[in-house]
Structure 1
Amino acid sequence: MTRSVRDVMTAGVTAVRPQASLAEVARLMRDHDIGDVVVAHGNDVVGMVTDRDIVVRAVAEGVDPNAVPAESVCSGPVETVAPEDDVESAARMMRDFAVRRLPVMEDGIPVGIVALGDLSVVEDPGSVLADISSAEPNR
């Protein structure tokens, strides 16, 4: 049976407006125990910011995270999938675009995130990536 993205995605999206400061983004990541935030203008996804983006594109460059907006370090444009897409298509898209996560869009609204780890838990549950992805987060 072919699984859909809806079966494996993490429902819900934490999003910020493009002008949100990186400090605000980092606090959201901490508070929601996540490593990525969608950057959106209304319902239009314009990019994604990961914890790595903040470190490599901002902190390592010595910029003030209170003065730098999310749009300046986010990756974009962003490829998206729909909840009814099959996981094989999502995996192929991740491979083709060299990304680890995809926003899930339904009726033009972001409704979730599907990550490489989500796919590994379902498709290769005995793998190291699946073990890491399903483990409790470090605190």
Structure 2
Amino acid sequence: MQQNLGNIMTSNVFTIKETQSLQEAASVMSEHNIGVVPVVNNSGQMTGIITDRDITLRSTAQGEAAQTPVSQAMTAQQVVQATPDMDVHEAAEMMSQQQIRRLPVVENGQIVGMVALGDIAVDNQYDNEAEEALSSISTPSAPQK
């Protein structure tokens, strides 16, 4: 039976504006126990995504201040996203190919949900997809020289 992301996604998604600070983004993550926050502009359109890892590697490790705008550390180009009517199998394949654990679900440019690899894994009919995606995502990359 084919199932779409709209049926398994988390629809209560916390977002942050691109002009807000990294400290505010980290506070949202800490308060809600999440590791990723979609970034939106004043119109609510998704413009990027920021992860706890982005904050660490693109700001803290570079000596950037906590008041640095989110736009300076977020991933903005080619953010992988899905639609609510996308098939779960297709989403799992996309997550595997792109090596991502969380997939924003967007409709008309607005964030409407988030699907995590765990959301797919908890449904027994998607065990193989979740296992394949995790295997690809967890493949270690070579250290940078």
Partner of 1:35: 35
Determine what percentage of the aligned residue pairs are the same residue: 39
Distance 2:80 2:51 in 1: 15
1:57 aligned residue: 58
2:47 aligned residue: 46
Q: Over aligned residues, Cα RMSD in angstroms?
A: 2.1
2:122 aligned with 1:121: yes
Task: Tell me the TM-score normalised to structure 2 length.
Answer: 0.78
Equivalent residues in 2 for 1:53-132, closer than 5 Å: 53-66=54-67, 68-77=68-77, 78-122=79-123, 123-124=126-127
Between the aligned partners of 1:108 and 1:53, the Cα distance in structure 2 is: 22
Q: Tell me, what secondary structure is at the counterpart of 2:122?
A: helix
| Residue ranges of structure 2 left out of the alignment (5+ in a row) | 135-145
Shift of 1:26: 0.6
Per the TM alignment, residue 74 of structure 1 is displaced from its structure 2 partner at its CA by 0.9
Deviation at 1:14, TM superposition (A): 1.2
Q: Aligned pairs, how many? A: 127
Which deviates further from its counterpart, 16-25 or 88-97?
88-97
SS of alignment partner, residue 115 of structure 2: strand
Q: Any conservation in 1 of the 2:48–2:76 contact (CA below 8 Å)?
A: yes
Q: Quick one: distance in 2 between partners of 1:34 and 1:61?
A: 23
The answer to whether the Cα contact below 8 Å between 2:46 and 2:109 also exists between their aligned partners in 1 is no
Distance change >3 Å, CA 29–CA 16, structure 1 → 2: same
Cross-structure match for 2:137: none
- Deviating above 6 A after TM superposition, structure 1's stretches of 4 or more consecutive aligned residues are none
Deviation sequence 1:32-89 (CA, Å, 0-9, x none): 22111111112321111011111111112221112x1111111123122111111111
CA distance in 1, matches of 2:28, 2:101: 20
Deviation, structure 1 residue 106: 2.7
Structure 1 unaligned runs (5+)? 130-139
For normalisation by structure 1, the TM-score amounts to 0.81
